[in-house]
Structure 1
Amino acid sequence: MAALARALRALRALPGGARGRAAGPSGALALPRPLGADPHEEEPMLAAQKKNPDYHGFSAEPDVDVLNMHAVFFTGVSVAIVLGSVFLHYLPDYGLMEWARREAEIQVRERERLGLPLLTSNYYDPARLSLPPPE
């Protein structure tokens, strides 16, 4: 506990305060300057970003570019992934696989109810087939 109290006192004694507040106005961070440069020639971060803005390729204006980037990524994630997966889930039965399974289950239950074997060697009933004469 004593070590913790010493650490807190040391943080309070720092010139920037316990949370490391900057000496300049809030939101105006300074870029690092090269060694030997004049300390009065620093430019704030906002001015540096105006000179060299991040470019995402959606617009020439930096604010519109960021807004369009956020809109495109929100649309891409929410619409394409979420709604796309919902759409794929509710597509109709491709290849009638589910229908074939249900039909097979119906056929098995019907043959079990009638006491017939589930599979026979003849696909069609031979009594109903008209075969050519054996000649």
Structure 2
Amino acid sequence: MLTRLSRFGPAFPRLLRQTQARCVSQSKPSGAGSAAVTDLHAPSAASAHGEVSPYVKNPDYHGFSDDPAVDEWNMRIGFFFGISVALVIGGTFIHYLPDNGMRKWARREAELVIQQRERDGLPLIGENYYDPSKIILPSKGQE
């Protein structure tokens, strides 16, 4: 399967290994045979500085910072502004958008015309909606 997926580029096997390394249960060991997170995430041999994965230092790593306190604070701030404020301000903005297609204006205008015609004693819609003198009908020969 790895040879089939390697057509996506030379970096795919490396990405696959990184993804497999991150898919680790964060639950506490329940007994014999359970491995701790630190056992599964040993320092990388290729690194000259002995760097440890952020998941080892902070099992609740959110990807904002290496420091666990700053990481959690940045995650909370990011989600607050990204979700709460966006929903509230976005919903308010959408609610107060101008009348789409002027539908409300058209209804108010129609109600005013109806009230005016009722006040004048005229029918709401005349028998001849269009002025008959302005309608040009084809002659018998053009039909």
What's the TM-score, normalizing by structure 2?
0.52
Query: Does residue 62 in structure 1 map to residue 68 in structure 2?
Result: yes
TM-score w.r.t. the length of structure 1 is 0.55
Cα RMSD of the aligned pairs, angstroms, is 2.9
**Deviation of residue 73 (structure 1)?**
1.4
Gaps of 5+ in 1: 1-30, 36-48
Instruction: Report if the CA contact (8 A) 2:58-2:68 is conserved.
Output: no
Alignment-mate amino acid for residue 97 of structure 1 = R
Structure 1 residues 133 and 73: CA distance shift in structure 2, 3 A: closer
Distance 1:57 1:75 in 2: 17
Choose the corresponding residue for 1:131, options 122, 130, 136: 136
Change (3 A) 1:32 1:130: closer
Q: Tell me the equivalent position of 2:35.
A: none
Whole-angstrom distance in 2 between the partners of 1:88 and 1:51: 43
Deviation at 1:34, TM superposition (A): 4.6
Q: Distance in 2 between matches of 1:64 and 1:122?
A: 76
Structure 2 partner of 1:116: 122
Instruction: Determine which structure has more spread, i.e. the larger CA radius of gyration.
Output: 1
Spell out, residue by residue over 1:107-129, the C-alpha distance to the aligned partner (whole angstroms, 9 max, x if none). 101111111111234332224x1
**CA 1:52–1:134 in structure 2 vs 1: closer, same or farther (change >3 Å)?**
closer
Q: Is the 8 A contact 2:64 2:75 kept in 1?
A: yes
Structure 2 equivalent of residue 97 of structure 1: 103
| Deviation at residue 33 of structure 1 after TM alignment | 7.9
**Residue equivalent to 1:13:** none
User: May I ask how many residue pairs the two structures share in their alignment?
Assistant: 91
The residue number in structure 2 matching 1:71 is: 77
Show structure 2 runs of 5+ residues with no match.
1-27, 33-54
Q: Alpha carbons of 1:34 and 1:107: their partners in 2 closer, same or farther (altered >3 Å)?
A: same
Identity across matched positions, percent: 55
> How far apart are 1:55 and its partner, in Å?
1.0
